[in-house]
Amino acid sequence: MTSSAQTSAASARSDARADLIAAARGGIPIDRFPRVEGGAHAASVLVLFGRLDSIDAEADAVSVPADLDVLLQRRAATLSSHPGQVSFPGGRREHADRDAAATALREAQEETGLDPAGVEILATLPEIPLAASGHLVTPVLGWWRSPSRVVAVDHAETVDVFRVPVATLLDPATRFTSTLRRGGMTFRGPAFDVDGTIVWGFTAMVLDGLFDAAGWTRKWDRDDERPIALEV
């Protein structure tokens, strides 16, 4: 890569980081999330962006740099809560955690082995209700200054850890509206199909809200509805 190209790439990553900070200040509308009835447990997830490796997105990088990625994981199918689903690293807050960011970093380290020292916390978003498991979840927005190796540490909880190019998630061909029928009602929400890996539910809604707030969203077909098959 030439010096001018390196400067351009660094500038693009800097702009993406600034976009994320601005998006966090604007906030994610929480009225799209079902309310939690009764008591709820405090939890945090780490929404970690950065240049995770040298592999660019195959999709056209219209809104963001081609090397901008977000860290995701796939939960074990044997878990009682959200089995088999793609999620952000995260979990319940513990008494020793000083704040939501500490919870997110601790859980991410336990689940993926990442080094928290390499993560810059950009912002803490407002709590979001996660009705399916009775949690109030705080998304913690992070920037990976110094990427470290990540793997599924405990396969009883996490079966895969992977990075996804943001440009791929923004590609209109990747996006659709998920539908889930429960109790005679149909729930609809944004979703992503990344080469057969389906990102939906809470994770997709947070990503969708961030992309909208950051000004990255490209027009996609919201009338393309596809049912979600839950793990049993």
Q: Report pLDDT digits (tens) over 22-78.
A: 999 988 776 666 665 556 789 999 999 998 655 656 666 678 888 899 999 998 755
Give which of 78, 84, 68 is closest to 17, Cα–Cα: 68
**111 burial type by CB count under 10 A (0-12 exposed, 13-18 middle, 19+ buried):** buried
Question: What was the pLDDT predicted at 173?
Answer: 96
**Percent of the chain clearing pLDDT 70 (strictly above):** 79
DSSP category for residue 64 = S
45, β-bridge pairs: 90, 139
* pTM exceeds 0.85: yes
Question: What was the pLDDT predicted at 61?
Answer: 67
Q: How far apart are CA 50 and CA 127, in angstroms?
A: 23
Contact 221, 176 (CB under 8 A): yes
- Domains of the chain plus CATH, in order, are 3-165 (3.90.79.10)
Question: What was the pLDDT predicted at 156?
Answer: 76
Average pLDDT, rounded, for the chain: 85
- Highest average pLDDT, of 128-132, 161-165, 172-176, comes from 172-176
- Highest average pLDDT, of 4-8, 129-133, 197-201, comes from 197-201
**Residue range 79-121, pLDDT digits in tens:** 555 567 899 999 999 999 999 999 999 999 999 999 999 999 9
